[in-house]
Amino acid sequence: MTLPKLMLDTTGNVDMADAQRITYDAITNLPIPGALQPFIVAGTGTPNAVLTAPKGSMFIRLDPGAGTRLYMNTDGGTTWIVAGSAA
């Protein structure tokens, strides 16, 4: 399977328009309904209480020196958990 290239916003914006949506289920190859499509986005700071996203969405933090690098949305709203940290 060939995965698509993801285009991430590296300007520090957390606007959903800059996100890469996941539109197909990788296991079943069926479309994911629009409201449930998770996305991948990058920016600075933490996404908590700032960015509303579908459950399973990922946020890559770009701040220099920040220990936390990857967050995952757990509720389909503004709750994000740390999914990865820098060494």
Tell me the per-residue pLDDT of 23-75, one tens digit each, with 9 for 90 and over. 888 899 999 998 899 999 988 888 988 888 999 999 998 887 768 889 999 99
Sequence-separated (6 or more) residues with CB below 8 Å from residue 82: 68, 70, 71
Asked if the model's pLDDT at residue 15 lies above 60, the reply is no
E strand residue ranges, 6-79: 20-21, 39-43, 58-61, 68-73
pTM for the predicted model, two decimal places: 0.72
